[in-house]
Chains A and B, each alone.
Chain A
């Protein structure tokens, strides 16, 4: 009997990387990559950036051309939903049909968290996760100047806000917390970006929740805040976080907790199933913590670990996390962590719009946020990975090359 295939569920960044790493790692057995979107696997980051602001074409979003999948003998199944997983029979239900697997990788990603206030269902209230979502928003932004409201001052809300502003629309961002991107950057960086947006004419409303969305008599929308303020809008883009796709894993009895729980080898609670990407609550052995991340870095690096585990070649996941975001001409890049620090050291200056903030826990460098200083970011990742000693006087001196510390 032929060996049972390895099946990867979810044809996004992580799923594709698992398949690719399996082939690179020498696996020549049968391999299927199944996803419920119809388009070839594509990159999401440009959807809130160049795709909106520069009219980037869809074929440039694709990771690989269709020939790639043939060449690598990866059975790419698109537009089909995996509705059930039976771990004891080791089989899936794909579009109503049973498919057995030898080993399984779950890379089901996440979806935008829905807004639950009244009026959320109105036409013109939308989310941004898929290329279809982006196409809708881009269509709406191609009209005459619109009043755009972004609900949520995280990366997606802010990137959409920035792109819409660059296209000449009037834009308001509403954030329930007291600062922007509160979950992921330090207060210093939040405040810097608040000023950037303000100076570019974007209204930033902090510290207040949305109460409801009404439709006015002329068909446009009215966002009503908890303090009774009202903000008129033609388009409302909601970016209030995401929920991991765990249904499949959960109903199959795999351990889930705000994500499919995996160890540092990307192994789930079932020995034949690994998981990677936005859908996982995972252990990073360098940081010594469990967390869920939504980033290209995590999708790619964890998928590589998952593929190694499938190949019986275990290696712990200990990468330094990194992330980037492009907002109104400011390139924000983050490496390591920006929580849990007790002092900071600045390189460059906020006034010039080119700076990096080095976060320390006493003498240990734990993270670096850079704005328009990509060289600092690239070198910092290496410094963090090496656990290098980084003296303050070298950081603050722009004449000094950080590379010498490696």
Chain B
């Protein structure tokens, strides 16, 4: 299973094995990684699963939908060009080693 590293705002790293096909958000929630809230359960409708993708990985992720781009304007901590909604990042074997940084808060 691909390993995903979640780096908290306080710089604590949690490495989690996430099954292929799950979202980066689901990997965090089931393993109690604090810092991702995911109020809408992955519906791209709440913007409380915001992450900053590590610069080395940003180009390896798929395209954003228009809906995700719109929602990124509603995050609690201002989004940047490295911002994604973690519920919209599907885990594939190519993402083994992915590093995402968590914002200070989500709402």
Q: Which residues of A contact B (CB under 8 A)?
A: 43, 45-46, 60, 62-65, 67-68, 71-72, 296-297, 300, 324, 326, 331, 333, 374-375, 377-379, 403
Contact = CB atoms under 8 A, between A and B. Distances in A.
Interface of B: 22, 26, 29-32, 39-41, 43-47, 67, 70-71, 73-74
Contacts of B46: 374, 378
A157 to B, nearest CB: 20
Contacts of B30: 62-65, 68
B70 A46 contact: no
A324 B39 CA distance: 11
B47 A378 contact: yes
A347 to B, nearest CB: 14
Contacts of B29: 63-64
The binding surface of chain A is classed by DSSP as helix
Contacts of B22: 60
A375 B41 contact: no
A65 B26 contact: no
Given A375-B70, A375-B74, A324 B43 contact: yes
Contacts of B32: 64, 68, 71-72
Contacts of A300: 39
Nearest to A297: B39
Nearest to B37: A300
A375 B73 contact: yes
B74 A378 contact: yes
B45 A374 contact: yes
B94 to A, nearest CB: 21
A151 B72 CA distance: 38
Contacts of A62: 30
A374 B41 contact: no
Contacts of B41: 43, 45-46, 296
A377 B47 CA distance: 11
A116 to B, nearest CB: 33
B43 A331 contact: yes
A53 B105 CA distance: 33
Contact of B45 (A65, A324, A379, A403): A324
B31 A374 contact: no
Given A60-B26, A65-B31, A375 B40 contact: no
A324 B44 CA distance: 12
19 contacts: A43-B41, A46-B41, A60-B22, A63-B30, A64-B29, A64-B32, A65-B30, A67-B31, A72-B32, A296-B39, A300-B39, A324-B45, A326-B43, A374-B43, A374-B45, A374-B70, A375-B71, A375-B73, A403-B73
Nearest to A62: B30
Contacts of B39: 296-297, 300
A326 B44 CA distance: 12
B99 to A, nearest CB: 21
A67 to B, nearest CB: 8
A374 B26 contact: no
A60 B39 CA distance: 15
Nearest to B44: A374
Nearest to B68: A374
B49 to A, nearest CB: 12
Given A45-B41, A296-B41, A378-B46, A68 B31 contact: yes
A92 B27 CA distance: 36
A297 B45 CA distance: 14
Contacts of A43: 41
B74 A379 contact: yes
A43 B43 CA distance: 13
Contacts of A326: 43
Nearest to A46: B41
B3 to A, nearest CB: 15
Contacts of A63: 29-30
Contacts of B47: 378
Given A43-B41, A65-B31, 4 more contacts: A60-B26, A64-B29, A324-B45, A375-B71
